[in-house]
Copies of this chain bind each other. A is one copy, B any other.
Amino acid sequence: MLYVVGHKNPDTDSICSAIVLAHFLDAYPARQGNLNPETEFVLRKFGVMEPELITSAEGKEIVLVDHSEKSQSLDDLEKGKLVGVIDHHKIGTTTSEPILYYAKPVGSTATVIAELYFKNAMDLIGGKNKELTPDLAGLLLSAIISDTVLFKSPTTTDLDKEMAKKLAEIANIEDIDAFGMEILKAKSVVGKMKPEEIITMDYKDFEFNGKKVGIGQVEVIDVSEVEDKKEEIYKLLEEKLKNEGYDLILFLITDIMKEGSEALVVGNKEVFEKAFNVKVEGNSVFLEGVMSRKKQVVPPLEKAYNE
């Protein structure tokens, strides 16, 4: 029983990459949590079923997509058999045995999968060189758009744009930009969400030098959507910090149009200020140009913890 599964608090890349890779590996796609509104919109748009919810690796062979960190993975991963990782993040784990590991520094895991498909090279990772149907091409395209914030994120590479174009042809999507704005708007439904839902929508745990750090992110087209909820979000983060043993929690409100993020900082402000060379006045600070947790937030923070 081979399962393909993305990270906790799944985003569109984790869900869509799991579905499409499972197709090529003759495996079961799975998810570790509820779909966010953007992903729901994407699956409905292309008429694809949501993957099975799994909470245990026991008795399963597992391929991880879109993550490798233990803290973002199934809690009992060691009870299953990890056979592979397909990812676009930093290398987040070591293993005790050789496995398949394929990661590239590109904008999304969907990009990595699309490239293998177009290179006819699915067999390199143990898959079959089958057809990519229009609905599955649409999922990969959506995942690229979501993870690169319609190619605006600094994580975006030429390969992401090239794959998006080729996928759009198969998916019969003529105007990538218009389609992309639809997706980003679906993501930007925070106006209707409760503060506790906003926090968990895209939230990841890390361990830096033995300290527990949480980093959440929400991307908005219009900052006013969250303006009146910030105070309550901050209170909830303070409670979370206390109750769950965090050293630091960051919550990034990323303004897609302004191309930067307001960071709410709870806990160890010193290490945050050192990492970003800023001064936090009150509860938050605006980080100009910062849109990517993976590329612009995690590396300086990890470095600051290790100094």
A interface list, Cβ under 8 A from B: 85, 88-105, 115-116, 119, 121, 123-124, 294-295, 298-299, 302-303
Contacts and interface: CB of A to CB of B under 8 A. Distances in A.
8 A-B pairs closest in CB distance: A98-B105, A91-B95, A101-B103, A90-B95, A96-B302, A121-B121, A91-B94, A90-B98
Contacts of A88: 98
Given A96-B302, A115-B124, A121-B124, A102 B105 contact: no
B97 A105 contact: yes
Nearest to A208: B96
Contact of A121 (B103, B104, B119, B295): B119
A90 to B, nearest CB: 5
B98 A89 contact: yes
Nearest to A112: B124
A119 B89 CA distance: 25
B94 A98 contact: no
Contacts of A91: 85, 91, 93-95, 99, 101
Nearest to A92: B94
A91 B102 CA distance: 11
A225 to B, nearest CB: 30
A96 B295 CA distance: 9
28 contacts: A89-B98, A90-B97, A90-B98, A90-B99, A91-B91, A91-B93, A91-B94, A91-B95, A91-B101, A92-B94, A93-B94, A94-B94, A96-B303, A98-B103, A98-B104, A98-B105, A98-B294, A99-B103, A99-B105, A100-B103, A102-B102, A115-B124, A116-B124, A119-B119, A119-B121, A119-B124, A121-B121, A124-B124
Contact of A97 (B99, B116, B295): B295
Nearest to A83: B105
A104 to B, nearest CB: 5
Nearest to A302: B96
Nearest to A103: B101
